[in-house]
Structure 1
Amino acid sequence: MNRIRRMLGRGCCSTHRLGALCVLLALGGCNDKGEPAAAAAPVVEVTTVSLQPVREWDLFNGRLSAVDAVDLRPRVSGYVERIAFREGDEVQKGQTLFVIDPRPYREALASAQARLARARAAVRLATEQDRRGQALVKQAALSREEGDIRSATLAQGVADVNAAVAEVATAQLNLDFTQVRAPFSGRVGRAMLTLGNLAQADQSVLTRIVSQDPMYVYFDADEQSLLRYIEQTGAGRRPGVANTVRVGLANDIGTFPLTGTVDFLDNQVDPATGTIRVRAVLANPERKLTAGLFARVRLEGASETRALLIDDRAVLTDQDRKYVYVVGDNNQALRKDVTLGRQLDGRRVISSGLAAGDRVVLNGAQKIYFSGMAVEPRENPAPDRQASAASPKPQLAQ
């Protein structure tokens, strides 16, 4: 080795220098005694897996919907005289929203009331004539035929009064309908018709109202989940509050801050999609929820169990197989094929392939070139908290 260095230092010919350099590079991994230098074992981060409490959840996608929603239409025709609300505001049940010109209907009511008064006056006259006629018939001073005519006239007058009463009620109802009121409390949209426009009875849409509290969230559960729930219920493995759901909106990244309960399950599975429609109810006292919003729904599955959990970063892929590296005796990294279960907040349930107490390589697996390679493990404690496993395949509710 020293001779080669002297040759390079004396400036010998290029051919000799190149050959000496190659020999020097070839012997660089050897010590002065000619033995290979031992490579340092790579440092890897490991964590010890253990059984942890897990509560199963299924993850679905859904949409928020108002409990009550209506396109507000007038019940009488007329020109819009007044708009009595501010667009986008929350209104109360019975609050006047639109006023249709009431003058024609007010006059129609007065006319109906006049006809009623005339009919009642006619009944009073017919009553007196019938009373006198019956007395004259008893005295043989009036024919029975004439007495029957007077009785029929009285009956007709009573019928006219009843018809007039109905006309007055209808006219009063139409007059009341000129004030279009909110059928329930909720948030009102924009006014579709403005002042002076003609509103056609039962046709023109004036505005739209949607209720605010509570709110519905609709989602579609796949038939595999449905069959699993039925099986769990029959086996008594469903929790006491089986219909609890957790809901997160689009900006709730990784969290589900809202809590609700399932109150409706459709009566059949849609054969086109293989899903069944489910509905849950959410409280909305602070009006943070709006109909039409996208929602992520976690539906509570079986009761709490215990399972092995590892960080998803430790799972490696070899074509269609999943595996991890486990640090065994003599700090050797050994490959173990695993079967994955449900995903949970960046962690994965291991169905098979690992045992409690195994030390799994969490970081640094790229430094391991073969199974059995020596490593220098550094422990990273695993989080010990209750887990909620969620299904990795959500379904979208339209």
Structure 2
Amino acid sequence: MKKAGKIVIGLVCVGAFGVLMFTRFTKKEEPIEAVPNPTVVVQTPETGNIELSTGLTGTVEPADQVYIIPKGSGEVLEVYVNQGDTVQKGQKLFRIDNKQLDAARITLNTTQVSLNDAQTSVNRMKALYESGDISAQAYEQAVSGLSMAKLQYDSAKLNYDTQSENTVVTAPIAGVLEQFGVQVHDMSAGGSVAGVVSGAGGKTLTFNVSERVMKGLNIGDPVTVEKNGTDYSGAISEIGSMVDASTGLFKVKATLGDADGLASGTMVKVYVTAEKADNVMVVPADCVNYSNGDAYVYTYDAATSTAKKTPVEDGLIDSDKIQIVSGLSYDDEVITSWSKELYDGAAVNIQGSDDGEETEADSEESSEGDTDSSETTAEETTEAAETAAK
């Protein structure tokens, strides 16, 4: 019995081994699934504009700003206004004790007396000359003396009027006293700044730029000013052509419209267009690649249905597009989508084309064929195992 049992076990083992080997050698190899060509999106270059803005810092100033500079010197006797007051042109601001005015008054009175004496002398000499009692030369000397006295009087009168004007300092223009700190008993020096009057007009903006930015600016270019979340618009009115020695930059001025909310002297954020390119060829920025600093794009070759690596020269770039200086024409189809299977000469399908649809259908049919083949192989293997067991 033991011997018969061993024989049965051996037969079972041999049968199992045979079934295993039969299944292994009769199983069909699964076909390798073909990798489909990448599907890409293409676009022709367009004509567009690119502007690059630069953020700077500027200072708001009055459009009309005039310094108050007294011509005379002396102690301040009276002050008629305060800082922040609105004044009119010619309005009195303060009066000084001008000692030169007293001297000018004495000189004027002296020349007035001399003029009167010269006039009296001429009148008397004229009567004598007409009666023949004096010579013509004597009469002419009297007339010359009168002319000299008249010139001296006119000079003294002009000096007195000037000193009178210097005694009372007036507003040079109509506006607001932005700076004014004159007090009674202060000493006012001629030629020194006593205050600043800002005109009632608009505001100006002053800011400094580098040479690179300066070259991209033009008179009339728009500027945007931001302060406390509020934007103000303006236009460039002046562009300096010389470098400021203190900053090493170029000074630029702009006029601001409707900027009453900005106080004079306020520091603001300024945005200007530093560089721009109008009516140039542009493509999406994401489709431009770089190799060792050289720019290139992939274009679609319709004749071979492949991708072609095309070197280009790029220009300005913003957040979504880039300028193409050379290397492309407006008829080129630029591949704007990315794929890891994309390389020079790679076969590609265009999204939405008939070739792309046929490729997808072929892939589905191949998948169905592979499924049927797998099912047939499994059935044949099962049948073979059952036969061997019997």
Q: CA deviation at 1:200?
A: 1.0
Is the partner of 2:156 in helix, strand or coil?
A: helix
- 2:149 alignment partner in structure 1: 160
Kept after mapping to 2: 8 A contact 1:83/1:195: no
Q: Size of the alignment, in residue pairs?
A: 308
Correspondent of 2:163 among 174, 182, 194:
174
Is the partner of 1:173 in helix, strand or coil?
A: helix
- 1:286 alignment partner in structure 2: 258
C-alpha distance in 1 between matches for 2:314 and 2:31? 45
C-alpha distance in 1 between matches for 2:73 and 2:127? 49
Per the alignment, do residues 58 and 132 of structure 1 end up closer, same or farther by CA in structure 2, a change over 3 Å counting? farther
Matches for 1:218-229 after TM superposition, within 5 Å: none
- 1:84 alignment partner in structure 2: 81
- 2:195 alignment partner in structure 1: 207
Q: CA deviation at 1:349?
A: 1.3
Structure 2: state its 5+ residue gaps: 1-27, 354-390
Q: CA deviation at 1:378?
A: 9.0
Do residues 348 (structure 1) and 322 (structure 2) align?
yes
Correspondent of 2:114 among 119, 128, 142:
119
Per the alignment, do residues 343 and 195 of structure 1 end up closer, same or farther by CA in structure 2, a change over 3 Å counting? farther
C-alpha distance in 2 between matches for 1:344 and 1:69? 40
Matches for 1:46-61 after TM superposition, within 5 Å: 46=41, 48-52=43-47, 54=49
Letter in 1 for 2:335: V
* TM-score (normalizing by structure 1): 0.54
C-alpha distance in 1 between matches for 2:80 and 2:102? 23
Kept after mapping to 2: 8 A contact 1:67/1:215: yes
Letter in 1 for 2:180: A
- 2:385 alignment partner in structure 1: none
Do residues 338 (structure 1) and 312 (structure 2) align?
yes
Kept after mapping to 1: 8 A contact 2:51/2:276: yes
- 1:75 alignment partner in structure 2: 71
Matches for 1:299-378 after TM superposition, within 5 Å: 305=279, 307-325=280-298, 335-343=309-317, 346-356=320-330, 358-361=333-336, 365=338, 368=340, 370-371=342-343, 372=346
Structure 1: state its 5+ residue gaps: 1-31, 227-242, 380-398
Q: CA deviation at 1:157?
A: 4.4
Kept after mapping to 2: 8 A contact 1:247/1:298: no
* TM-score (normalizing by structure 2): 0.55
Is the partner of 2:335 in helix, strand or coil?
A: strand
Do residues 196 (structure 1) and 171 (structure 2) align?
no
Kept after mapping to 1: 8 A contact 2:67/2:194: yes
- 2:91 alignment partner in structure 1: 96
Greater alpha carbon shift after TM alignment, 62-71 vs 352-361: 62-71
Kept after mapping to 2: 8 A contact 1:317/1:323: yes
Kept after mapping to 2: 8 A contact 1:192/1:205: no
C-alpha distance in 2 between matches for 1:134 and 1:124? 15
Per the alignment, do residues 36 and 353 of structure 1 end up closer, same or farther by CA in structure 2, a change over 3 Å counting? farther
Kept after mapping to 1: 8 A contact 2:98/2:163: no
Kept after mapping to 2: 8 A contact 1:245/1:298: no
Q: CA deviation at 1:104?
A: 4.8
C-alpha distance in 2 between matches for 1:283 and 1:223? 19
Kept after mapping to 1: 8 A contact 2:314/2:322: yes
C-alpha distance in 2 between matches for 1:224 and 1:244? 11
For residues 180-239 of structure 1, the C-alpha deviation after alignment (integer angstroms, 9 at most, x for no partner) is 34445666542254443211112x22134566558587877669979xxxxxxxxxxxxx
C-alpha distance in 2 between matches for 1:76 and 1:224? 43
Per the alignment, do residues 186 and 49 of structure 1 end up closer, same or farther by CA in structure 2, a change over 3 Å counting? farther
- 2:371 alignment partner in structure 1: none
Kept after mapping to 1: 8 A contact 2:180/2:194: yes
Greater alpha carbon shift after TM alignment, 350-359 vs 100-109: 100-109
Letter in 2 for 1:296: V
Kept after mapping to 2: 8 A contact 1:74/1:200: yes
Per the alignment, do residues 219 and 160 of structure 1 end up closer, same or farther by CA in structure 2, a change over 3 Å counting? farther
Q: CA deviation at 1:74?
A: 1.3
For residues 26-54 of structure 1, the C-alpha deviation after alignment (integer angstroms, 9 at most, x for no partner) is xxxxxx9655677899898x562333255
Q: CA deviation at 1:314?
A: 3.4
Taking only the aligned residue pairs, the percentage that are identical comes to 12
Kept after mapping to 2: 8 A contact 1:95/1:182: yes
Letter in 2 for 1:77: S
> RMSD over aligned Cα, in angstroms?
5.5
Letter in 1 for 2:291: D
Per the alignment, do residues 224 and 128 of structure 1 end up closer, same or farther by CA in structure 2, a change over 3 Å counting? closer
Q: CA deviation at 1:124?
A: 3.5
Kept after mapping to 1: 8 A contact 2:74/2:96: yes
Higher relative contact order (CA 8 A, sep 6+): 1
Q: CA deviation at 1:348?
A: 1.5
Kept after mapping to 1: 8 A contact 2:213/2:274: no
Is the partner of 1:76 in helix, strand or coil?
A: coil
For residues 96-153 of structure 1, the C-alpha deviation after alignment (integer angstroms, 9 at most, x for no partner) is 37323257566556545533542343134213331344256x25xx7x59x83x7645
Letter in 1 for 2:164: L
Per the alignment, do residues 350 and 163 of structure 1 end up closer, same or farther by CA in structure 2, a change over 3 Å counting? same
